[in-house]
Structure 1
Amino acid sequence: MNRARKAAKLALGGGEGVPCLWVGDLDRAVSFYRDRAGFRETELLGGQRPHAALASGHGATVLLRAAGGEERESRRLRSGNSDWDALFFVGDLDRVARELRDGGVRIEVGIGVSAVAYRTLEIRDEWGNALAFAEAAGGWRPATRDLAERVIPARLRTSLRDRKFARQERPEHARFARFHAELPDRRDPVYMFFTKGLLHWVAASAKHIPPEVNLVFFGSGLPAEEQRWLSEHLGRPVFNSQLEIDDNTAWEILFAANTTNFGYVDIDCFVLDPRVFADLAAIGDDVAVNAAWTYPAAPGVPVACTHLVFLNAGIIAKLRDSGRYLSPANYAWDGGMVPLLHHRTYCRVPTPEQRRLLLEVLPADERGLPKAPGEAPFFDTLIGYQIAAAAAGYRTRAIRPLAHRTQAMFADAAAAGKHVWQQDLSDELVHIGGISYYGRYFHAAEFRKLYLAAEYSVLRASVDRLPPGYRERRSTIERQLREAGLDPLLAREFIREHLVADRGIGAEAADRILGGPE
């Protein structure tokens, strides 16, 4: 008996089912699942004229069924459905992801949080079948992680990792310091950090930043063609970290290198009034951070989101010299990773001294640990630093009354029967949020459609000027929009209506972001 059939028989004998998937071309489907998707054992069924095939791999089996005309049309109509056609629980999701990528299979969503597991990924075959792989709670990796977290103190458990990462990052600190020293203008630089594949957002945001703002691009792992494109088309200084880093590491590099005040703007933040930059840079001696979006960390203590901020370098130096300093990076008591944000995002564990410092401002939980603001599971980027600044008598100043809403605020709004969005927008300032990692999170269908429409609208406006790979990205989003039930030609109007009707900004501001009416 063929091993694929044996695997199916074992699965059925164990009380588990075998997903049945319609495919338009059986031979091509067998090749895809066997050679690219990691289902290494295959067997054609039906004798001389096969009508189906079993494919086994990743500890599971699927039945591929050749679709006739009616079945193909049914599958085509169902491809807009966001439900999965097959779900597999695996013990080592990272290995599965590597095998899929090595086979040239695009991961459509994830690795990210889904309804069934903390770590899930989704792929699609060319016939529209959606397959999800989720990390089983009982797999050896999660079990090992859970045991380590119970037995080994967080600071000890993460110390080797942190030292390894710090050693890897040290050359980038030195390279950036040299780059910074050679900048033709070091007056109030405003940095924009991004990873590869995001030039359309960089271009869309940067076009609203006036020439007198000292904008500096900070890339991570950018291919040569993207570095070239930036230099040739946008005319701003470009630093590229050869090591693929996340924004937390970028923030630490900026804190180390800048001895004068500096700013930071997200790639999906649109500053539509240039006067905002002047207000941002006007920072008082007692102000640690000027910001556009803030929320309360404790009564009378606002903290800033990093989307658009300006920092007082003198206060950074004073806190560091006094020993009352926290890094701008993430902190968490378990020292965990946050791969949803970036595969390298890791949380630092506060020292006992830093814990006492945080308790000068924040309330304690039942374990006596300072609560992260907004009931967040960890201290997000720049939050720990701002709490340390507040404990030393410095403040975060909101240059605009734009609110950021935390999970606690969402819960309060839901209890009151109100619908709120995470961030206020205005005709001056629009922030999309999460655009660099939304593809790793299993959003509800209506939110995913908004993200896809926003990205498609921005990409379509600039794709003809971008490197060739971005045209493939446009085609992918067109397909994903159709699967989400939205004609790509209507994407711009869809997102424009959301900005105007749901988020309250003016039609002219929406058109400026989206490139004007078509």
Structure 2
Amino acid sequence: MSIARPALAAVPCLLVADVAQAARYYRDTLGFSEIEFLEDPPVALYVRRGSATLLLQATDRADASVAEVSPRRLAVHAWDALLLVDDVEALAADLKARGARITVGLGITPVSDHTLEVRDPWGNLLAFAGAPVGLLSHATDRARRLLPPPVMRRVRELRAAREERAPAQAVRDFCAALDGQKPFYMFFTKGLLHWVRQAAAQVPPDVTLALIGSDLPPDELEWLRQRLDRPVHNIALGVDDNTTWEFLFDAHQSDFGWLDIDCFVLNPALFAEMTRFEPGVAVNGMWTYDAVPGAPIACTHFAFINAEVLRDLRTQGDALSPTNYDWTGATISLLHPRTQCRVPTKRQRELLLRVLPEDPSGRPRPPGGSTFFDTLVAYQVGAYARGFRTEAVRPLAHRTQAGLSSAAQDSPVWQQDMSDEVVHVGAVSYYRRDFHSSPLRAMYLAAEYALIAAADGDLPDSYVKRADQLSAELSEHGLSADEGVTMLRDHLVHDRGLAEVTADRVLGRNS
């Protein structure tokens, strides 16, 4: 079959060690259904999927290693080919179904905020990105031109409310049994049991830790119920943490807390401290930063909510949701496909302006140089405007993007403090959708590997395959699995200041 070629087109050229094997891989695993071999015996081939064409060329040596085929000496994460698609989410689902190894994505890059990477068996990095507006036609763009943004947002909110009605009621029923027990909720999606296992192991039995999963597969749900002696609820609908926060705000009549799956509370006395409120406190937090000088804002990693203050704010009629806010109702797909921002009402905007400075459009500026109000931020600012504050239970700093940008660059500046009492990792559920530097990516891979290895087989079977995959990915960073874990332990001790026993405990070496 001859592949039609336009009058002028750019075709990325990749090296492979075996042309026949490459044809099978690109056809069966990556979905390039049109194939044209060049010469007999073939020394190269064209492969095509949709309007994208690649030229795969054989190396001079059939025994060439991955490093020799696709050298990474100058740029470890540079792409060998970029392919623009009109529906990258659908493509990602198709590639996963075919068994392709997506190394990163969907994530944000300078090319597109919907980008994924696939590495072929010869080390070539292929990037698939949502095409910028103007390059490809999007039905959604046409819809946006036809409907005003507020109408689009309202339609989306009504659809979400309809989908979430039954799951919200199920969460209310689950929380009713825990009312008055000062529970801490741990939320997670599939594929994260190694983090749940390790974080839950640090929580004393007398602390009510309630586990809320979202769209968990049967084997993971069964594992939770058999292995962890904690209340478990699975939200059948695939939701994000913001939606779960809203469910909890709606469900609870008494105080409750939140604990991230990658937050390890190593001093059990912290739980009691977190549940004690001083007068006028809306939220107790472990990591904080200033919305404005003198007005600390707690991160959600380890936080506790004063239900009495929440009721008071609702009585006044302009309480903000714990979810994200911005001015366009944007979707933050890096975090979760359902992570969509609400838009403050006029009264809520006026409330926020009592605390925050204006942006050039006269709107309250999100704290810390962010482009949006992150989870629980707008709620806390609104509470501060009404005379309620956030209490920093420990003076652990969270450095915003603005703070990181202004920090001295002569030594590494980390976003969050760690201590021998409590450690938070951050972004473990979505780091694969972010295009980190190679050393940081290797630390995430090593952390995952360490926790799966620490389980010593006490996880569903899929995690064994996951450990093998993590080991293979670490090798692409020049590290064996054991070397990666050692590197991470050294980082925790020497760069982050943790005691050796703390680092070992976090990594599951002596838990």
DSSP 3-state at the match of 1:200: helix
Q: CA deviation at 1:266?
A: 0.2
Given candidates 151, 174, 180, the residue that maps to 2:175 is 180
For 1:108-127, what aligned pairs fall within 5 Å after superposition?
A: 108-127=103-122
Q: Distance in 2 between matches of 1:73 and 1:364?
A: 53
Residues 129 and 73 from structure 1, CA distance in 2 versus in 1: closer, same or farther, beyond 3 angstroms?
closer
Correspondence 1:232 to 2:232: no
DSSP 3-state at the match of 2:453: helix
Correspondence 1:35 to 2:35: no
Question: How big is each residue's C-alpha offset from its partner over 1:203-237, in whole Å with a ceiling of 9 and x where there is no partner?
Answer: 01111110011000010011111111111111100
Q: Which amino acid aligns with 2:287?
A: W
DSSP 3-state at the match of 2:457: helix
Q: Which amino acid aligns with 2:420?
A: D
Q: Which residue of 2 aligns with 1:20?
A: 14
DSSP 3-state at the match of 1:64: strand
Is this contact kept in 2: 1:59–1:90, CA < 8 A? no
Q: CA deviation at 1:152?
A: 6.1
Q: CA deviation at 1:27?
A: 2.8
Is this contact kept in 2: 1:91–1:138, CA < 8 A? no
DSSP 3-state at the match of 2:64: helix
Q: Distance in 2 between matches of 1:280 and 1:476?
A: 38
Correspondence 1:513 to 2:506: yes
Given candidates 65, 81, 84, the residue that maps to 2:79 is 84
Q: CA deviation at 1:375?
A: 1.1
Q: Distance in 2 between matches of 1:221 and 1:388?
A: 32
Residues 493-502 or 507-516, more deviating: 507-516
DSSP 3-state at the match of 1:454: helix
Q: Distance in 2 between matches of 1:353 and 1:213?
A: 39
Given candidates 424, 436, 447, the residue that maps to 1:454 is 447
DSSP 3-state at the match of 1:71: coil
Q: Distance in 2 between matches of 1:138 and 1:39?
A: 24
DSSP 3-state at the match of 2:102: coil
Q: Distance in 2 between matches of 1:139 and 1:96?
A: 20
Residues 230 and 98 from structure 1, CA distance in 2 versus in 1: closer, same or farther, beyond 3 angstroms?
closer
Is this contact kept in 1: 2:70–2:124, CA < 8 A? no
Residues 412 and 164 from structure 1, CA distance in 2 versus in 1: closer, same or farther, beyond 3 angstroms?
same
Correspondence 1:483 to 2:446: no
Question: How big is each residue's C-alpha offset from its partner over 1:214-268, in whole Å with a ceiling of 9 and x where there is no partner?
Answer: 0000100111111111111111000000000000000001101111100110000
Q: CA deviation at 1:15?
A: 4.3
Residues 113-122 or 368-377, more deviating: 113-122
Is this contact kept in 2: 1:79–1:129, CA < 8 A? no
Given candidates 96, 101, 104, the residue that maps to 1:106 is 101
Q: Which residue of 2 aligns with 1:168?
A: 163
Residues 154 and 359 from structure 1, CA distance in 2 versus in 1: closer, same or farther, beyond 3 angstroms?
farther
Q: CA deviation at 1:181?
A: 2.3
Given candidates 58, 64, 69, the residue that maps to 1:71 is 64
Q: Distance in 1 between matches of 2:228 and 2:360?
A: 51
Residues 389-398 or 441-450, more deviating: 441-450
Q: CA deviation at 1:76?
A: 6.5
Q: Distance in 1 between matches of 2:510 and 2:155?
A: 54
Q: CA deviation at 1:147?
A: 7.7
DSSP 3-state at the match of 1:108: strand
Q: Distance in 1 between matches of 2:440 and 2:143?
A: 36
Residues 220 and 132 from structure 1, CA distance in 2 versus in 1: closer, same or farther, beyond 3 angstroms?
same
DSSP 3-state at the match of 2:443: helix
Given candidates 15, 40, 45, the residue that maps to 1:53 is 45
Q: Distance in 1 between matches of 2:381 and 2:50?
A: 46
Q: Distance in 1 between matches of 2:171 and 2:455?
A: 29
DSSP 3-state at the match of 1:348: coil
Correspondence 1:388 to 2:382: yes
Q: CA deviation at 1:380?
A: 0.3
Is this contact kept in 1: 2:17–2:69, CA < 8 A? no
Q: CA deviation at 1:93?
A: 2.0
Q: CA deviation at 1:417?
A: 4.9
Question: How big is each residue's C-alpha offset from its partner over 1:329-382, in whole Å with a ceiling of 9 and x where there is no partner?
Answer: 000101000010011111111111111111111111010010000010100000
DSSP 3-state at the match of 1:465: coil
TM-score, normalised by the number of residues in structure 2: 0.94
Is this contact kept in 2: 1:22–1:75, CA < 8 A? no
Q: Which amino acid aligns with 2:481?
A: P
Q: Which residue of 2 aligns with 1:269?
A: 263
Q: Which residue of 1 aligns with 2:418?
A: 425
Q: Distance in 2 between matches of 1:363 and 1:147?
A: 36
- Identity, % of aligned positions: 45
Q: Distance in 2 between matches of 1:463 and 1:125?
A: 30
DSSP 3-state at the match of 1:458: helix
DSSP 3-state at the match of 2:243: helix
Q: CA deviation at 1:72?
A: 3.6
Q: Distance in 1 between matches of 2:249 and 2:157?
A: 18
Q: Distance in 2 between matches of 1:394 and 1:128?
A: 55
Q: CA RMSD in A?
A: 2.2
Is this contact kept in 2: 1:137–1:143, CA < 8 A? no
Q: Which residue of 1 aligns with 2:402?
A: 408
